[in-house]
Amino acid sequence: MGLTSMAEYKEQGNLVFGLDIGTRSIVGTVGYREGDVFTVLGQEIKEHETRAMLDGQIHDIGQVGNTILQVKKALEKKLEVKLTNVCIAAAGRVLETVEVNTTWELEKEKVITPEDVAGLTSMGIEKAYTQFQEQNNTDLHFYCVGNSVIRYYLNGYQIGNLENHKARSIGADMIATFLPDDVVDGLYRAVELAGLRVVNMTLEPIAAISVAIPEMYRMLNIGLVDVGAGTSDICITKDGCIIAYGMIPCAGDYLTETIAQACLVDFNTAEQIKRGIETQDAVEYNDIMGLPNTISKASVLEMLDDKLEEMTERVADKFMELNGGKPVSAVFVVGGGGRIEGYTKKLSAHLGIVAERVAVRGEEVMQKIRFKEEDVHKDSLMVTPIGICLNYYEQSNNFIYVTFNDEHIKIYDSGNLAVVDAAMHANFPNEGLFPRRGKEINYTINGRKTFKRGHLGEAAKITVNGEPADMHSPIRANDVILVEESTVGEPASLKISDLPEFKSMIVITANDSRILLPKVAYVNGEIKTGYYEIQENDDIVMQDYYTVRQVREFMDVLLEEGTEVFVNNEPADDDTRVYENFTVRWGEKKAKTAKRKPAAKKSTKSTVKEEKKAEEAEENVLADSFEDLPEDDGTYEPSGKEKSAEVKEEPEEPAETKTAAKVPVSIQVLVNGRAIRLSGKSSYVFVDVFDYIDFDLQSVKGTKLITDLNGHKAEYMEPIANGDQIVIRWEK
């Protein structure tokens, strides 16, 4: 933006107004940036009339506010413009820095956008804040007032810039800096008393580095120290970014107080002596008794030597601490306190680097700074005030107020605030934002530990200004946010029948018949049916084999003593295990069922019924396994009454005339998904099934009668065997 006449700008518009609120003085700067050049239109400096600030913190808000107002009015009059917005910088005596690593696992690979990078930064700030709060053992409430990305990661590998790359995960190493609430509030309140609104806030060393260390130098391990009146603010660059911040509550005023005590003068006179020796070999002054005195530059420097040693040693130690125990390669010094003779030499000695690599920076770093005013003295005092203005273009940050669940809270605006940031500052429980699962069940299945998650509850109900929102919804100043905490879901529930292992069958071949054996579940050593509800820490074993004895019992087969049994054509006994697809064979001529004692004719029917009940009792456990299968959706509707096979009374045949083919056997088949046991015959055909089911063949209830046997159309006289699957229904 070109500027020809200040009369054109009655309002602030695109002009940037920066305030360097220092311990000794307040510097106001107004200008604008065009391309990469910043033009300073006007600058005003006003010293505090009293010691209203100490060590970078405001002690008298009213006095500081009045001084800011004087600076503001002077600039408005000079530039003929109304100033309403201002940028400021903080230099607190209680500065805390946290370094964190954050990683964002994306749902799928995508091209990284600036919004993604901003979201990653927000995650890092939130993580740093949480980590800092865990370490904060004071009653002070802190705000994040600065952050910097040290390095980025793309799919786990370090990279310079994430934007436009495809990634499945992105990450960053970051540092975030925190100041106490009273420091920040004091600055804001003083500015508000002068009728100004803060639009950006940064740290003084970040502001200074904007001018003192250009981007092209930040690949180097360089340190910067802004030696003000009350604090020495420190930052370090490496690999293209700021890697650390720090602060020492010891600076120019420390030297001034020494002069005041030695020369018996007030603080302001001592300050004049300190500044005087920068350009003069001797300084005249009156002490508190009114007596005139003259002191040489050499005497003042000798007087300050021990204090300079102590101050520079503390700064050097902080550099070493922040730089991993190693000295930085070079140091740039800005601010008035570092201009005193001997400061840079002593600092280089304590760091162990050559003296030429520690230097005061002033006019030489202002190649892209233009001044409209003539006769401007470009020195190290100008660096931080101009840097405060430049930082406005880098990140427009300030504090905003929002209402969160009826609580008025202040949030540091990083430019990408969302509901989750407000929740964090309001100490809303993090788990209250996300759906929570009910209690899970942990159990062991066949020696493998596993679990089933509980059900998800409902997510938090969020509104912003009455409109539905979520935790990532952006927020702005004065927004009203309501968050109803998320709920916990139902606890997990799981039956044996729900396990995939339970639903499978063991298929074997016994005497050329295909047999389906349901797996048996043991829970903590006890047999359980499919209806059993699994409990916490249950040990479940699904037996994946049957013994020969269990196979015979399932098939209701009795063998005469001495009958040979073969498993996979190898001799076997009752304890031999039979696994999936094994073949079992025994001598058919010796196979027989248990003999029943003949009953009197008049009691035949009751005896058969009693025997039937006994049979059913023995089958309960295995029948339960089949009952878990769904019923067919045809017209078949089980009545719950199954017909019993009528056993005809026949004269006992001599043993020598019996054959294995005539020995009655029992088989079990699935009819329309229901287990049916047929007994009383030595063999069965398809039509026999109708004696055991409630199916009316006389009443036509569809267009076609479907009769399937193991997936193919069945013939009525087609033989059936144990384990066959049958479907009988009307097709509509």
Buried b (16+ CB within 10 A) or exposed e, 428-441: beeeebeebbbeeb
CA 507, distance to chain mean position in Å, is 48
Q: What is the pTM of this model?
A: 0.52
Residues of the chain with pLDDT > 70, as a percent, come to 85
Per the CB < 8 A criterion, the answer to whether 459 and 436 are in contact is no
Residues contacting residue 179 through CB under 8 Å, at least 6 positions apart: 90, 92, 94, 95, 96, 142, 143, 145
Angstrom distance (rounded) from CA 183 to CA 143: 10
* Three-class SS state of 570: strand
Number of Cβ within a 10 Å radius of residue 144: 21
Set out the domains of the chain in order of their start, with CATH numbers: 90-396 (3.30.420.40), 400-440+460-484 (3.10.20.30), 494-592 (no CATH), 607-647+657-732 (no CATH)
Angstrom distance (rounded) from CA 16 to CA 284: 41
Residues composing the chain: 732
Element (H, E) at 187: helix 181-193
What tokens does 412 get?
A: 């540091």
Dump pLDDT digits (tens) for 141-164: 777 777 788 889 999 998 888 999
Dump pLDDT digits (tens) for 544-567: 888 998 888 888 888 888 888 999
Higher pLDDT pick, 55 / 239: 239
Residues contacting residue 666 through CB under 8 Å, at least 6 positions apart: 555, 556, 593, 615, 677, 678, 679, 680
Between β-strands 520-523 and 526-528, what pairing exists: parallel, antiparallel or unpaired? antiparallel
Can you spell out the DSSP letters for 398-425? EEEEEEETTEEEEEEE-S--BHHHHHHH
Q: Once rounded to an integer, what is the mean pLDDT over residues 124-152?
A: 80
Angstrom distance (rounded) from CA 588 to CA 310: 107
What tokens does 278 get?
A: 């920068």
Q: Once rounded to an integer, what is the mean pLDDT over residues 171-192?
A: 85
Angstrom distance (rounded) from CA 714 to CA 732: 19
- What was the pLDDT predicted at 689? 86
Give, in order, the Cα–Cα distances in Å from 387 to each of 17, 97, 250, 350, 356: 11, 21, 22, 28, 25
Which of 66-70, 475-479, 674-678 ranks highest by mean pLDDT?
66-70
CA 162, distance to chain mean position in Å, is 20
Higher pLDDT pick, 682 / 657: 682
What tokens does 602 get?
A: 């008049």
Dump pLDDT digits (tens) for 266-317: 988 998 999 899 889 999 999 999 999 999 999 999 999 999 999 999 999 9
Higher pLDDT pick, 43 / 694: 43
- What was the pLDDT predicted at 55? 65
Dump pLDDT digits (tens) for 86-115: 999 886 566 788 889 999 998 889 999 887
606: confidence class by pLDDT, cuts 50, 70, 90: very low
Q: Once rounded to an integer, what is the mean pLDDT over residues 382-411?
A: 80
Dump pLDDT digits (tens) for 625-654: 444 443 444 433 333 333 333 333 444 444
| Angle, helices 604-618/620-627, rounded to nearest 10 degrees | 70
